[in-house]
Structure 1
Amino acid sequence: MELSPFALIAIGLLLSVWTVAAAWMMIAASSKSQKAEGSRKAARRMARMIDEAPAIPLIVRTDGRIEGSDRLAGWLGLESLPEYLTELDAGEGKGLSADQLAELNENVRRAQKTAAPFRMALTPPGSQRSLALRGVLADPQVSPGGAALVWIFDFSESESELSRLREEAARAKGDFGALVGIIEAAPMPMWFRGQDAKLRLVNQAYVRAIGADSADTVIGDQIELIESVDGLTAAQIASQAAAQKMPIERNVTATIEGQRRSVKVSDLPLAGEGVAGYAVDIEEMEEQSRQNRAFRDAQRSMLDQLSIGVGQFDEDRKLVFANQPFRRSFALHSGAVAQGVAFDRLLSDARENGKTPEVRDFPAWRAEHIEWFSAGTTQEEAWPLSDGTHLRIIAQPMPDGGLVLIAEDRTEQLALSATRDTLLRTRTATFDSLFEALAVFAPDGHLQLWNRSFAGTWGLDQDKLDTHPSAEELLQAIAPNLAKPKQAKAIGEVIRAATLDRKEQGGRLALADGRTLEFAGVPLPDGNGLLTVLDITASQNAETALKERNQALEAADDVKTRFLANMSYEFRTPLTSIGGFAELLEAGVAGDLSDQGKEYVTAILESVSRLTDQVENVLDLSQSEAGLLPLNKKRLDMLPFVTDVVREREGAIAESGISLDLRGSKVSGKIEADPRQLGRAIGQLIDNAIAATPKGGKILVDLSKAKGVAQIVISDSGEGMTRQELERAMGYAAEAGTSIAKQGLGIPLAQQLIEAHGGTLSILSRKGEGTTATIQIP
Structure 2
Amino acid sequence: MIVARFLPLLIGLLLAAWTVAAAWAVLSARARERRTENQLRSARRLGRMVEESPALPLLVRSDGRIEASLRLAQWLGLDAVPQYLSELDGKGRGLPKEKLEELTEAVRRCQKTAAPFRMVATPHGSTRSLALRGHLADPQVSPGGAALVWVFDFSDSESELNRLREEAARARGDFHALVSLIEAAPMPMWFRRADGELQLVNSAYVTAVGAASAEAVVAGRVELIETVEGLTPAQVARQASAKNAPIERVVHTTIGGQRRALRVSDLPLGEDGIAGYAVDIEDMEEMSRSFRAFRDAQRALLDQLSAGVAQFDAKRRLTFANQPFQRLFRLSARNMQDQPALERLLDAARDAGRVPEVRDFPVWRREKAAWFSSEDTQEEAWSLPNGTHLRIVAQPVPDGGLLLIVEDRTEQLRLSAIRDTLLRTRTATFDSLFESIAVFAPDGRMQLWNRRFAADWGLESEFLDTHPHIENLLGKIAPRLKKPDEAELVGNVVKAATLDRTERGGRIALADGRMLEFAGVPLPDGNGLLAVLDITDSQKVEDALRESNAALIEADAIKTRFLANMSYELRNPLNSIGGFAEMLQAGLGGDFNDAGRDYISSILEASGELGEHIDSLLDLSQSEAGLLPLKKEEIDVMPFVRGVVEERA
TM-score bracket relative to the smaller structure: 0.5 to 0.7
Counterpart of 1:175? 171
Q: 1:102 to 1:394 in 2, by over 3 A?
A: closer
Q: 1:555 to 1:497 in 2, by over 3 A?
A: farther
Counterpart of 1:129? 130
Matches within 5 A, 1:663-682: none
Contact 1:88 1:95 in 2 (8 A): no
Counterpart of 2:589? none
What letter matches 1:397 in structure 2? P
* Structure 1 segments unaligned to the other structure (5+ residues): 1-47, 136-147, 579-778
Q: Quote the Cα distance in structure 2 between the aligned partners of 1:69 and 1:509.
A: 139
Q: 1:468 to 1:363 in 2, by over 3 A?
A: closer
Q: Quote the Cα distance in structure 2 between the aligned partners of 1:448 and 1:68.
A: 121
Counterpart of 1:264? 263
1:44-97 alpha-carbon deviations (Å, 9 max, x no partner): xxxx9xxx999999999xxxx799997899989897998xxxx87975477895
Question: Partner of 2:395: helix, strand, or coil?
Answer: strand
Counterpart of 1:210? 209
Counterpart of 1:370? 369
- 1:332 deviation in Å? 0.6
Q: Quote the Cα distance in structure 1 between the aligned partners of 2:461 and 2:109.
A: 136
Counterpart of 1:307? 306
Question: Partner of 1:191: helix, strand, or coil?
Answer: strand
Counterpart of 2:381? 382
Question: Partner of 1:240: helix, strand, or coil?
Answer: helix
Aligned-pair Cα RMSD in Å: 5.1
Counterpart of 1:412? 411
Q: Quote the Cα distance in structure 2 between the aligned partners of 1:347 and 1:432.
A: 50
Question: Partner of 1:302: helix, strand, or coil?
Answer: helix
Counterpart of 2:222? 223
- 1:365 deviation in Å? 1.7
Question: Partner of 1:180: helix, strand, or coil?
Answer: helix
* Structure 2 segments unaligned to the other structure (5+ residues): 1-45, 137-144, 557-620
1:222-272 alpha-carbon deviations (Å, 9 max, x no partner): 333333222222221121111111122223334556654433322222232
Matches within 5 A, 1:25-424: 92=90, 121-123=119-121, 128-132=129-133, 157=154, 161=157, 164-165=160-161, 167-169=163-165, 171-186=167-182, 187=185, 188-255=187-254, 260-424=259-423
What letter matches 1:393 in structure 2? I
Contact 2:381 2:392 in 1 (8 A): yes
Contact 2:264 2:277 in 1 (8 A): yes
- 1:330 deviation in Å? 0.3
Contact 2:515 2:534 in 1 (8 A): yes
Contact 1:389 1:411 in 2 (8 A): yes
Q: Quote the Cα distance in structure 2 between the aligned partners of 1:504 and 1:440.
A: 14
Contact 2:56 2:69 in 1 (8 A): no
Normalising by structure 1, we get a TM-score of 0.54
Using the TM superposition, name which of 513-522 and 95-104 deviates more. Answer: 95-104
Q: Quote the Cα distance in structure 2 between the aligned partners of 1:338 and 1:554.
A: 98
Q: 1:94 to 1:183 in 2, by over 3 A?
A: closer
Question: Partner of 1:562: helix, strand, or coil?
Answer: coil
- Structure 1 residue 562 and structure 2 residue 562: aligned? no
Q: Quote the Cα distance in structure 2 between the aligned partners of 1:331 and 1:473.
A: 58
- 1:504 deviation in Å? 2.4
What letter matches 2:170 in structure 1? G
Q: Quote the Cα distance in structure 1 between the aligned partners of 2:130 and 2:306.
A: 90
Question: Partner of 1:420: helix, strand, or coil?
Answer: helix
Q: 1:464 to 1:149 in 2, by over 3 A?
A: closer
Contact 2:120 2:129 in 1 (8 A): no
Counterpart of 1:505? 504
Question: Partner of 2:500: helix, strand, or coil?
Answer: coil
Question: Partner of 2:533: helix, strand, or coil?
Answer: strand
Identical positions, percent? 49
Contact 1:319 1:340 in 2 (8 A): yes
- 1:460 deviation in Å? 6.1
Contact 2:119 2:131 in 1 (8 A): yes
Question: Partner of 1:307: helix, strand, or coil?
Answer: coil
What letter matches 2:268 in structure 1? P
Contact 1:183 1:190 in 2 (8 A): no
- 1:335 deviation in Å? 4.8
Matches within 5 A, 1:8-23: none
Q: Quote the Cα distance in structure 1 between the aligned partners of 2:135 and 2:274.
A: 46
Counterpart of 2:584? none
Q: 1:66 to 1:167 in 2, by over 3 A?
A: farther
What letter matches 1:174 in structure 2? R
Q: 1:67 to 1:460 in 2, by over 3 A?
A: closer
Q: Quote the Cα distance in structure 1 between the aligned partners of 2:401 and 2:226.
A: 40
Q: Quote the Cα distance in structure 1 between the aligned partners of 2:641 and 2:523.
A: 67
Contact 2:110 2:135 in 1 (8 A): no
Q: Quote the Cα distance in structure 1 between the aligned partners of 2:307 and 2:190.
A: 55
- 1:531 deviation in Å? 0.9
What letter matches 2:219 in structure 1? G
Normalising by structure 2, we get a TM-score of 0.63
Question: Partner of 1:519: helix, strand, or coil?
Answer: strand
Q: Quote the Cα distance in structure 1 between the aligned partners of 2:487 and 2:215.
A: 102
Counterpart of 1:644? none
Q: Quote the Cα distance in structure 1 between the aligned partners of 2:376 and 2:330.
A: 27
Contact 1:73 1:80 in 2 (8 A): no
- 1:380 deviation in Å? 1.6
Question: Partner of 1:130: helix, strand, or coil?
Answer: strand
Q: Quote the Cα distance in structure 2 between the aligned partners of 1:192 and 1:496.
A: 86
Q: Quote the Cα distance in structure 1 between the aligned partners of 2:495 and 2:222.
A: 87
Q: Quote the Cα distance in structure 2 between the aligned partners of 1:484 and 1:57.
A: 134
What letter matches 1:198 in structure 2? E
Q: Quote the Cα distance in structure 1 between the aligned partners of 2:483 and 2:359.
A: 74
Counterpart of 1:664? none
What letter matches 1:203 in structure 2? N
- 1:415 deviation in Å? 0.7
- 1:354 deviation in Å? 1.1
Q: Quote the Cα distance in structure 2 between the aligned partners of 1:492 and 1:541.
A: 28
- 1:134 deviation in Å? 8.9
Q: Quote the Cα distance in structure 1 between the aligned partners of 2:532 and 2:481.
A: 14
Contact 1:97 1:124 in 2 (8 A): no
Q: 1:343 to 1:172 in 2, by over 3 A?
A: same
Contact 1:438 1:532 in 2 (8 A): yes
- 1:438 deviation in Å? 1.7
Q: 1:542 to 1:124 in 2, by over 3 A?
A: closer
- 1:414 deviation in Å? 0.7
Counterpart of 1:528? 527
Contact 2:516 2:534 in 1 (8 A): yes
- 1:353 deviation in Å? 1.1
Q: 1:516 to 1:267 in 2, by over 3 A?
A: same
Q: 1:162 to 1:217 in 2, by over 3 A?
A: farther
- 1:413 deviation in Å? 0.4
Q: Quote the Cα distance in structure 1 between the aligned partners of 2:545 and 2:532.
A: 18
Q: How many pairs were matched up? A: 504
